[in-house]
Structure 1
Amino acid sequence: MERLLILAQFSPAYLERLRRRFEVFHESWLDTAELVDPEALGRRLRGERIDYLVIEADFVLAETFAAAPNLRFVGVCRGEIGPHVDLDAAARHGVTVVSTPGRNAVAVAELALGFMLALARRLPQAHDLVRGGHWDSALTGYGAWGGIELAGRTAGLIGLGAVGCAVARRLRGLEMRVLATDPFLPAAPDGLAEMVDLATLVRQSDFISLHCPLTPATRNLVDAAFLAQAKPGVFFINTARAALVDEDALLDALHTGHVAGVALDVHRIEPLPPNSPWLAVDRAILTPHIGGASVDVVGHHSRLITEALEHFVGLDHQA
Structure 2
Amino acid sequence: MDHMVDVFDTEAMVPGFTAPVLPSGPFDPAAVEAADKVSRYWTSDTPGPFKIGSETHKHELCRMFRETFNPYRPSVLEWPKLAPEELARITALPIWDIAVETEGKARLRMAAYAKTVADKDMRLALALNAWEENRHKEVLSKMVTHYGIPLVKEPPYIYPTDAEWAYMVTGYSECIDSFFAFGLFKVAQRSGLFPQELIDTFEPVMQEECRHILLFANWVAWHRKNMPWWRRIGFEFKVFRVYCFLGWERIGLARSLDGDGNERTQDNNFTVNGAQSMTADDLSLPELLQLCLDEDEHRFSGYDKRLLRPTTAPTLARFALKFMKKKKKA
Give the TM bin, normalised by the shorter chain.
under 0.3
Report the TM-score when normalising by structure 2: 0.26
Structure number with larger C-alpha Rg: 1
Higher relative contact order (CA 8 A, sep 6+): 2
Q: Report which of the two has the higher share of strand.
A: 1
For normalisation by structure 1, the TM-score amounts to 0.27
